[in-house]
Structure 1
Amino acid sequence: MPAHLRAAVFVAALCFPRAGSAAEPAPAPRPARDPADAIAALIDAQLAKDWEARGIVPADRADDGEFVRRVYLDLIGRAPKAAEAREFLDSPAPDKRARLVEHLLTAPGHANHFAAVTRAQWLPQAATNFQLAQFGNQFEVWLRDRYRENTPADETVRRLLTVGIAVNNQNPRFRFVQPVSGNAEAAMIVGFYSANEGKPEALGAAVSRLFLGMKLECAQCHDHPFAPYTRDQFWQFAAFFGELNPLGGPRPGFVGPLPPQGDRNTIGVMGTERTVTAAFVDGSAPEWSADKTPRQELADWLATAKNPYFAKNMANRMWAHFFGIGLTDPVDEPGENNPPSHPELLKELGRAFAGCGFDTRVLIRGLVRSKAYQLTSKMSHPGQADPRRFARMNMKGLSPAQLFDTLVAATGFREPAFMRAQQNNGFVQPNNPRSEFLAQFASSERATETNTTILQSLMLMNGKFIGDQTDLAKSELLAAIADRPGWSTEQRVSNLFLTAFSRPPTPAELERFTSYVERGGAKNDKQQALADVFWVLLNSPEFLFNH
């Protein structure tokens, strides 16, 4: 047989099965490891090592009732409704926790909640400045779209930093920032720049704090007394936003000669005759190009995996959201006087976040799948007392929006359609139950240190909203539970517990509250006594905290 035919037969024998024989199945490709599982594993490994070294025994795993309420509050900003809690508690599926997380990540409430949380961090001025309120609402709508589309965190920040805007400096009392060429996205982002009045020093301070985790503004007038930030570093970073200054560079207070009008990357140091050129906080500088603005040069360095500050800071902020306190806390004051509680974990968490393409949902899945997130908040060992060891879940006070939305979920209150539409468009009408709660319960305290004021307590105990929702004549939900035919008093009480706490009552609770209702309470009226029970549950610490 010719050599070329022998070769053809050999190849055919390799590629095709012999007649009458079964082909060997091709080996199935091994699925790549879920990056969220890898994040959960590194969290658990690092914390377990820390607990062992310190002789800490971690808390028990949270039961399903504790978990379902926690994850609803953290992911969509409200506790589950009774039907949602019951469906989860009754499910026999072994992976029901992971399934619930997937469901919530794609629910509209997730984008709404995280947009509101992010807007409060990135644009806090909008909550107290009437002129900025509408800017803040538009900015929140833009953020909502980013979370709904699962835009990677680096792309979101890049779009924020490079948006086409201009500053109108005609009004000496307020510098108006406006979008260039009628860009719709810029119109929604413009609030971030308006809140900082388009000032390079204000924008540099905000961007370094939010996206690098550094309070560079403490070095605005002098070198930082506790951190290794110099005055020049602050102004070099602010210089990236110097192009927004219509005067060409220096700010009011600069006493030296003006730099050339076209020198977009130079700024004057306030109170001196010196000018500095834009530079990154690590001391390096861009390779300047005429095709890029200074803000684009900044974005090319800041919102990338090669910048370790960005990834660690964003991961740390997400950790603080779910655990109540950051690995570095406060989250924007790293330094020798504020080292991270778990430096290796923070470094690896930032590396993992960058490695998954800054996919926020992957990071969230990893955090909530960890054993640490699924620990109970009930203390069972003295070593669990330190909240920065994460040996049990930290209790977090509900934010004003979480509290109101949880009350809505628990009571069945129906917000008028026009109010819901306004909220979805980023606008909250004053003088309605929602706006009253947001105003009364506003707080600047960290979640793990929330305290209830006297006025807040009075609003919950005696306010019209709670009064109406615990009134049999006005509350549809309460009336439905009280009038449900065939239900025993125990069933009615149990449903109130499921409605308020996402769990059934303990035997002791069931006996105590059932006995109270059966006796008719203070007015010898069983239905009114049932309303009293609901009022007590809604005013309890268990209802007011995420635990």
Structure 2
Amino acid sequence: MIRLANGVALCAVLTFTSLMNAAEPLSQAMDGAIERAEPKFKDLASTRCDDGTFLRRISVDLIGRVPTSSEVRAFLVATKPDKRAQWVDRLLANPDHAWYWAQVLDAWWMERLPGKNTDASAWVTYLRESLAANKGLDALVAEIVAADGVDPAQRARARFLLDRDMEPTLVVRDISRLFLGANLQCAQCHDHPRIDGYKQEHFHGLLAYFNRTYLFDDPKLKKKVLGEKADGDVTFQSVFDPKKVTRKRSPGLPNGPERQDPMLTKEQLYVSAPAKDVRGVPKHSRRALLAGDLVTAGREPMARNLANRIWAQLMGKGMIHPLDQIHGDNMASNPELLEIMTKAMLDGGFKLRPMLRAIVLSDAYQRSSMPRGKEKKAEDRLLMARLRPLNPEQVGYSILAASGYDEAEAKALGTKATPAALQAKREASARPFINTLAPPAGNPDGFEPRLEQALFMSNHAHIQQFLLPRDGNLAARMLAQKDSGKAAEELYLSVLARLPDESERGDVAASFQSADRSIAVRDLIWALLASAEFRFVS
């Protein structure tokens, strides 16, 4: 996948060295909170997962693909007691980590909206470079909210607002639920009818940060950018108020103080006043004010939301579910654990990698998905691992990794097999899988199997091409084996990150008796790629 400049890579390695001693106490604190919530924890908790299962989990969670057969072999034969921690550090230092998690953040924050006014790929590159530089997620959010899209070098960060057409109510809905974990959409016209903590004034307090910002067609840039006025107030009425009292709202975060505009004369209002072909730039920007408020007064809600979302990404479900329903009536499944993670996010400068490292090295993450008994809601109580589906990106890139796509492409390109060239090939080949499995644009990711997905995986020519032998790929490696047992091992290690059992070895041996072994190999690879075991993380 993408390889970054040597300076960035060296910086990453040095950073991980400093993280190695910091994550273990956090992992232990997490596990302690889980144990304290269960009086009979030691009798109920599942055992530790095996090495192959662990490697598969951390590979798909940290770099977005299943491990290769050579990676599985290397991990299984390693004998050092801390090999799991060492491998986690190896994956976190891999440039593929920033590449994959940029796509995770893209799916979280853009929900697969098309690049209507911006270049969507440039946005993902911006996220990737930010993560590779170990930028705090709070700083990332502040940059996104403050961006106006004017500077070409920084235009990508404006995608969040520009590709929502800077529609104020839509932006407020998404700012509140994606960055603060509170979906205030139902509080636009009245206080939320079922959630006491979601007030109409909260929605309009956020709206007041954006009601002066507008989409502007820049005649020089020939692109849409953001302009802003220096005037315009937010007023609202509750549809349930029989007196129809009109209230005015200044900018302010939910449950925070109202922020007042500075006293300026008419001559002091603008850097450039809005006109037909002139973008409005006020001296006091309410939108820029929000960027600052989110990383100050909004730090704790933002940290709690991020901690909950990261946990859900790795564990299959947030401690607060749904993710955008953080409020007093929706208690966390383990309040102590969530507060530990929130504090760690705050104290750690909103850095992603230390949090990921702590979670994947926790006992909770490393537990088996096999229950020890018949305890109710064992997954919610974190007594066992939750069976969870691969997300669209993980499916697409795991099919490529399992089928040996990179090896075949590298040999085909020869001296032209640069990291950038391989990444471009990989992106193009994975995209049809991702598009087929992804939800409709504007919706959060979730596992909702559809008929067209099954038909695509079963019959589409796109998947069939990865089953045919090419120099270096899985099909070619299997066909080169005269011993069906070794072919079976290569197949199962490549696709499922485990060795085959005796029955599975027998199935491969029987298939190898076929008159056309290439067809048999194609069918064997397809059967495993289409299996539930491949589609899920156990």
Tell me, in whole angstroms, the C-alpha distance in 2 between the residues paired with 1:365 and 1:503: 24
Matched with 2:145 is 161
Q: Distance in 2 between matches of 1:419 and 1:408?
A: 17
Q: 1:194 aligns with which of 151, 156, 162?
A: 162
Correspondences of 1:41-440 after superposition (within 5 Å): 41-52=28-39, 57-124=44-111, 126=113, 129=114, 131=116, 134-163=118-147, 165=148, 179-180=149-150, 182-185=151-154, 187-227=155-195, 228-245=197-214, 262-263=230-231, 266-269=233-236, 274-286=247-259, 289=262, 293-304=285-296, 307-383=299-375, 385-414=377-406, 433-440=429-436
- Mark the CA change 1:464 to 1:328 in structure 2 (over 3 Å): closer, same or farther: same
User: Structure 1 residues 308, 41: CA separation in 2 closer, same or farther (over 3 Å shift)?
Assistant: same
CA distance in 1: counterparts of 2:72 and 2:262, whole angstroms:
56
3-state SS, counterpart of residue 86 of structure 1: helix
1:413-472 CA-partner distances (Å, limit 9, x unpaired): 2568899859968996xxx6433222221237987x734333322322222233333335
Match of 2:447 among 439, 442, 450: 450
Letter in 2 for 1:156: L
Q: Distance in 1 between matches of 2:202 and 2:20?
A: 41
Count residues with an aligned counterpart. 474
- TM-fit CA distance, 1:542: 0.8
TM-score (norm 1): 0.78
Whole-Å separation in 2 of the counterparts to 1:88 and 1:406: 18
Distance 1:214 1:109 in 2: 31
Residue 54 of structure 2: SS of its match in structure 1? helix
Structure 1 residues 55 and 93 mapped into 2: Cα distance closer, same or farther (>3 Å)?
closer
Give CA-to-partner distance per residue, 1:71-108, whole Å, 9 cap, x none. Answer: 01001110011111111112112211111111111212
For residue 511 of structure 2, the aligned residue among 509, 517, 525 is 517
Distance 1:427 1:470, change over 3 A: closer
Which letter maps to 1:184? A
Query: 1 CA distance for matches of 2:525 and 2:56?
Result: 18
Measure, in 1, the Cα distance between the counterparts of 2:326 and 2:300: 13
1:144 Cα deviation from its structure 2 partner: 0.9
User: Which deviates more, 315-324 or 117-126?
Assistant: 117-126
- Greater Rg over alpha carbons, structure: 1
Query: How far apart in 1 are the matches of 2:435 and 2:419?
Result: 18
**SS in structure 1 opposite 2:249?**
strand
- The answer to whether the 8 Å contact 2:172/2:207 transfers is yes
Task: Point out the more displaced range, 418-427 or 151-160.
Answer: 418-427
Which SS does the other structure have where 1:380 is aligned? coil
- Could you tell me which residue of structure 2 aligns to residue 506 of structure 1? 501
For 2:36, give the aligned amino acid: K
Amino acid at match of 1:378: M
Equivalent-residue separation in structure 1 for 2:56 and 2:81 (angstroms): 18
2:337 and 2:109 map into 1 onto residues whose CA distance is: 25
Q: Deviations over 1:250-305 (max 9, x none)?
A: xxxxxxxxxxx7446x3233898543211221131347557753233323332248
Distance in 2 (alpha carbons) for counterparts of 1:240 and 1:427: 41
* Contact 1:316 1:331 (8 Å CA) reproduced: yes
**1:160 offset after TM fit, Å?**
1.6
Q: Kindly indicate whether the alpha-carbon contact (under 8 Å) linking 1:384 and 1:391 is maintained by their aligned counterparts in 2.
A: no
1:495 aligns with 2:490: yes
Q: Distance in 2 between matches of 1:295 and 1:427?
A: 38
Q: Report the equivalent of 1:534.
A: 525
Secondary structure of 1:389's counterpart equals coil
* Cα distance in 1 between the residues matched to 2:422 and 2:510: 40
Does the Cα contact within 8 Å between 1:106 and 1:148 map onto a contact in 2?
no
Please provide the CA RMSD for this pair: 3.2
Q: Provide the rounded CA distance (Å) in 1 between the counterparts of 2:319 and 2:346.
A: 17
Point out where structure 1 has 5 or more consecutive residues left out of the alignment.
Answer: 1-30, 166-178, 248-260
> In the alignment, is the contact (CA less than 8 A) between 2:250 and 2:260 conserved in 1?
no
* C-alpha separation in 2, matches of 1:420 and 1:214: 40
Shift of 1:379: 2.7
**Contact 2:65–2:395 (CA<8 Å) still a contact in 1?**
yes
For structure 2, the 5+ residue unaligned runs are 1-17, 217-228, 264-282
Q: 1:66 to 1:477 in 2, by over 3 A?
A: same
Partner of residue 470 from structure 1, selected from 467, 471, 480: 467
8 Å contact from structure 2 (residues 107, 444) kept in 1? no
Relative to 1, partners in 2 of residues 1:55 and 1:370: Cα closer, same or farther, differing over 3 Å? closer
- AA of the residue aligned to 2:234: I
- Whether contact under 8 Å (1:468, 1:474) holds in the other structure is no
**AA partner of residue 443 (structure 1):** P
Give the drift of 1:498: 0.5
Distance in structure 2 (CA, Å) of the matches to 1:194 and 1:69: 37
- Does structure 2 conserve the Cα–Cα contact (< 8 Å) formed by 1:317 and 1:326? yes
Aligned mates of 1:527, 1:136 — CA distance in 2: 40
Answer whether contact 1:302 1:310 (CA < 8 A) is retained: yes
For 2:215 and 2:314, how far apart are their aligned partners in 1? 42
Q: Is the 1:138–1:426 contact (alpha carbons within 8 Å) kept by the matching residues of 2?
A: no
How much identity, in percent, do the aligned residues show? 28
Aligned mates of 1:59, 1:371 — CA distance in 2: 10
Q: Secondary structure at the match of 1:268?
A: strand
Q: Distance in 2 between matches of 1:544 and 1:217?
A: 34
**What amino acid is the match of 1:94?**
P
SS of the residue corresponding to residue 499 of structure 2 reads: coil
1:11 aligns with: none
User: Quick check: 1:56–1:383 contact (8 Å CA) kept in 2?
Assistant: no
CA–CA separation in structure 2 for the residues paired with 1:141 and 1:343: 35
Post-superposition shift, 1:331? 0.8
Distance 1:425 1:305, change over 3 A: farther
